[in-house]
Amino acid sequence: MSTGSARPLDQLRLIGAGGTNKVMAGELSRLARRAFKDMSVAEPRKAGPGALVYPFDARLARLAVFYHRTSVRVLWDVLETPAARLEPLFAEVVALVGETAARYLWDGARISVYAHGVQDFAAGERQIVGTVKNGLIEGAGRAGLRVELDANAPDVVFAVRMDDGLLRVSLDLAGRPMNQRGYRSERGAAPLREDLAAVLLMLARYDSRRDLLIDPMAGSGTIAIEAACMAKALPVWVAGRRPLLASMPTFRGIEPLGEAALFADAAPHIVASDSLPELADVTHQAARVAGVDAAIQVLTSDFRDLVPDTLRRPDCATGLILSNPPYGERLDVEDLESLYADLGRFCANFPGYRAAFLVANPLFERAFSARARVRPRIKKPLSNGPLRGYFYLYDL
């Protein structure tokens, strides 16, 4: 590169919630073993508590964008620079794109740029975005390609992030957060993000070949739907939501993935129950759009009224109770502690099962354990958005 201070990159970066490195790596490895017979996935480099970096491979990148449910973003890193001012940043982007544009741009392509975590840079976020955008357009022009800015309907989305004093330019291969699957048109109060539901399933080691999955406080059904989708390894995107990478030159000659389930023969058994009828309707609709309504039994019932023997299935050797119970935003302390105790009492009816929860309230552990008569086998810090919480796993 002409400036000498920047470093070209060619790496695949998965970004997820904090503390999810291990499950993200495990899921990608599982998918690659199923999808490819000739690929050995390299051990990723951890880049903080919620990011993994792999050598760039177009087939692996496409697999991640179409099937990887525990990540929030899938990025193709192309440039890293210590530039502290806008002028050298512009020059470095121009030089990089002039050399590599044919891999990800084409004549007439529409681009957009967003920035995240750049508050330590000398200039403001808008200035950084504008500089990178201008550098991309200028660099593409030097490569003989005409590209234009279109923030509303881009063909290619670029992400600018800052880590440890270095500014990194990447392509956002999906073009949107990975949790925006497309099956959800309505949500209940305090919805669980789709990628985090997938993380909980991985942490709890959900195995659809053996486990009956029960969510006794299912809300709008995110855990149940993600469980069914993961069991079959269905594509992430539904309802016509195609990721942007499909248009990029690098991916045009790759054998298509993303149209079929990788584990089409899986037959998960899932129960999703909530006391609010309107949430049952939301779950039904989302499950239909996701294509997994046949795998989920949706019940309208308070979990305290469920009869355990009617939930068990003889064809499931084991079971997993997995839920994201209320944290206390709409309940007083006494009601919340009683709810957690009742949940422990409910779970005690399923000896031999596992129970797992994501909770951001310190009352939970004591109240649940006292009634379930178990202590957590795993207690892992795991936040739900801005709420600091824990993932608990119990052997019942």
**Checking DSSP bridges between strand 110-116 and strand 51-55, what pairing results, if any?**
unpaired
Determine the Cα–Cα distance for residues 34 and 263; give it in Å rounded to an integer: 8
Beta bridge partners of 15: 51, 73
Residues 6+ apart with CB under 8 A from 267: 208, 295
Kind plus residue range of the DSSP H or E element containing 343: helix 333-347
Backbone angles phi, psi at 297, to 5 degrees: -95, 115
pLDDT of residue 147: 95
Give the number of C-alpha atoms closer than 13 A to the C-alpha of residue 305, restricted to the C-beta side: 7
Give residue limits of the domains in the chain.
Answer: 7-172, 194-395
Determine the Cα–Cα distance for residues 99 and 94; give it in Å rounded to an integer: 9
Residues 6+ apart with CB under 8 A from 334: none
Check: CB of residue 126 under 8 Å from CB of residue 37: no
Give the pair of three-digit tokens for residue 3: 């400036």
In terms of Cα–Cα distance, which of 262, 191, 255, 188 is closest to 232? Answer: 262
Q: What is the pLDDT along the chain (396 residues), one digit of tens a residue?
A: 444 578 899 999 999 999 999 999 999 999 999 888 888 888 999 998 899 999 999 999 999 999 999 999 999 999 999 988 999 999 999 999 999 999 999 999 999 999 998 888 888 899 999 999 999 999 999 999 999 999 999 999 999 998 888 899 999 999 999 999 999 876 656 679 999 999 999 999 999 999 999 999 999 999 999 999 999 999 999 867 788 888 899 998 776 655 688 899 999 999 999 999 999 999 999 999 999 999 999 999 999 999 999 998 888 889 999 999 987 666 677 788 999 999 999 999 999 999 999 998 989 999 999 998 999 999 999 988 777 889 999 999
Helix ranges, 68-124 (H):
86-100
- If you classify domain 7-172 with CATH, what class do you get? alpha beta
DSSP letter (8 states) at residue 209: T
Give the pair of three-digit tokens for residue 393: 């796993």
- How far is C-alpha 181 from the chain's CA centre? 9
Determine the Cα–Cα distance for residues 336 and 341; give it in Å rounded to an integer: 9
Rounded CA Rg of the chain: 23
Give the pair of three-digit tokens for residue 308: 């355990």
Check: CB of residue 136 under 8 Å from CB of residue 113: yes
Just give the CATH number of 194-395.
3.40.50.150
In terms of Cα–Cα distance, which of 165, 191, 187, 137 is closest to 80? Answer: 165
**How far, in Å, are 44, 163, 168, 351, 386 from residue 228 at the CA level?**
27, 36, 36, 24, 27
Determine the Cα–Cα distance for residues 391 and 184; give it in Å rounded to an integer: 24
Determine the Cα–Cα distance for residues 182 and 184; give it in Å rounded to an integer: 6
